[in-house]
Amino acid sequence: MAGILIVAEQLDGALREVSQELVGAAVSIKDQVGGPVQVLVIGADPDALASGVNLEGVDEILTIQTPSDHFDPLIYEEAIVTAGVQSKPSVVLIGHTSSGMAYGAAVGARLGSGFASDVFILGHDGDELIATRSAYGNKVEMEMGFSGKGVVVLTLRGATFEPPEGAGSAGTMAVDLDVTSIVGASTHVEYQEAPPSDIDITKADFILSVGRGIQDKDNLPRFEALADKVGATFGCSRPIVDSGWLPKPHQVGQSGKVASNCQLYFALGISGAVQHLFGMKHVDTIIAVNTDPEAPIFNVATYGTTVDLFELTDALERHFN
């Protein structure tokens, strides 16, 4: 049987936006893949979450009930494999999130599938599915085919695919799974809510980020005000967060957030460690300011300067005032 199986993602009983984005990705290739689009919802009350993924283009919603809403990769792995064996899709779509990365590759191995992670473009070459992802440290875009594979498992980059706008009329079907028989499943102790934040680095199209070059925490308000003046989201490198100067949601990089939707990235006083480059080197236009001409950030920058960042900031403030 052909078709697409989407794994909805929820956090503590609330559906995450990437779930609807996966539906949009599935709908974009539905005609080429053939077969139904199914969404798998896993949780303590999956029926309550089903309406959030009942979007235009969805043919059926599969539900698996678990003892709680708290994430366990072993439970998700077993649930997806169980649903996959039952529905026999040719494509399985998972969010490229901390949760999706915890079980995606294992699902691919269990199903004997083709596999690609952090995919941001889906297409076809004739009858073959083509997935595009970054390679060689985000220096190139690599198109991957999966010849000879009856099923392909993909994790898709968030904030990349547009969700369908219309509501769907999919029916719901429960899938039986005895989660008590899963060896190694964890016991939930406590859920700690992340500190509230009014920014989303993954959705920002213009980011002004600062690094250790700003020298002192007392200088932060100045650069935050500059970001506000130029209409940018205020970001930072990991040392700023590790020093306690800014909360985690501002961090761009491998252990922070990927600037998935960014078109213009302004890096002030950032050296360009590999971990930071992971989150922003794919951006179309990067402007780097660092007094060290050997700073790695210049290897990925579209434009760069070694002028003093405080002098440049003075000039920008005069211009935008």
Residue ranges per domain, the chain? 4-181, 201-320
Q: What is the mean pLDDT of each run of 10 residues along the chain (321 residues)?
A: 92 92 97 96 96 97 94 96 96 93 96 94 94 76 93 90 94 92 83 76 95 95 96 95 92 88 96 88 94 94 96 94 82
Give the helix ranges, DSSP H, for 153-237: 220-230
Give residue 152's pLDDT.
Answer: 98
- Which CATH number, 3.30.360.10, 3.40.50.1220, 3.10.350.10, 3.40.50.10490, labels domain 201-320? 3.40.50.1220
The token pair that represents 167 in the structure block: 């509501």
Helix H or strand E segment including 22: helix 17-33
Contact 237, 296 (CB under 8 A): no
The pLDDT value given to residue 34: 95
pLDDT at 141 (0 to 100): 83
What is the pLDDT at residue 56?
97
pLDDT score at 275: 81
* pLDDT at 137 (0 to 100): 57
Same fold, 4-181 and 201-320: yes
Q: What is the DSSP letter of 294?
A: T
pLDDT at 28 (0 to 100): 97
Residue carrying structure tokens 């300067």: 305
- The DSSP secondary-structure symbol of 288 reads E
pLDDT value of residue 160: 83
Instruction: Give residue 139's pLDDT.
Output: 62
Residue owning tokens 């078709």: 3
Is domain 4-181 in CATH 3.40.50.620, yes or no? yes
Residue type, 205: D
Q: How much is the pLDDT for 157?
A: 85
pLDDT of residue 45: 96
Crossing angle of helices 220-230/309-320, nearest 10°? 40
First to last CA, the chain: 62
pLDDT for position 285: 96
d(CA 3, CA 201): 33
